[in-house]
Amino acid sequence: MSDYFPRIELPPVDRTVPRAISSVQAVQPIVAGHSAPSANPDARASVPQIDIAGVDEDVASAAQYVEIYARIADILADLDSSGSVDGAAQSINAMLPRPIVLVPLPPASREAIEHAAVVARRMVDRAAYSHAAQAHLPRGVVDQIVASGG
């Protein structure tokens, strides 16, 4: 006899779990310049403690976000201040990602290292094709771009 039960005989599983609605405590407004003693001295003891580590992480991530925006603003300001088109093109090219191929470290097999070399060759070949395709536009495409005002 089999110890397994067919699926038909198993009772259905109730996957819904009712959740209790949490009540929100009202926050009392603070009046500036008025320091009256509180009516309930235990009120301060019941105030939930602030998670300092969580706040520090949030502040650190916000600081990194602001730093990145400052870097981008500096780059764009440099683009606006460059007097030549070549300078602007060089600044834009500096922001573009460079293609890289990661070569496996020494415990890797010979085939893995050779595969990395093949991938690098393919990237160079495809880059040459894309440059050639962008450099040689058919006359009809150029006419359509000029006619559309783009």
Q: Where are the domains of the chain?
A: 51-96, 100-150
Q: Is the pLDDT of residue 132 over 70?
A: yes
Are 103 and 116 within 8 A, CB to CB?
A: yes
Are 98 and 86 within 8 A, CB to CB?
A: no
Query: Cα angle vertex 122, ends 117, 125, to 5°?
Result: 130
Alpha helix segments (H runs only) across 9-138 = 52-81, 85-95, 110-135
Are 83 and 68 within 8 A, CB to CB?
A: no
Alpha carbons 85 and 75: distance in angstroms, whole number: 15
Q: Is the pLDDT of residue 81 over 70?
A: no
Are 82 and 88 within 8 A, CB to CB?
A: yes
Which two structure tokens, joined as six digits, stand for 111? 């085939």
Which two structure tokens, joined as six digits, stand for 30? 């603070």
Reported as half-sphere exposure (CB side, CA atoms, 13 A), residue 20 has a value of 3
Predicted confidence at residue 145, as pLDDT, reads: 76
Alpha carbons 113 and 106: distance in angstroms, whole number: 9
Average pLDDT, the chain: 71
pLDDT tens per residue, range 33-53: 555 555 555 555 565 677 777
The one-letter amino acid at 30:
I
Alpha carbons 4 and 7: distance in angstroms, whole number: 9
Predicted confidence at residue 100, as pLDDT, reads: 79
Which two structure tokens, joined as six digits, stand for 127? 């880059």
pLDDT tens per residue, range 135-148: 777 778 777 877 87
Predicted confidence at residue 139, as pLDDT, reads: 78
Predicted confidence at residue 2, as pLDDT, reads: 56
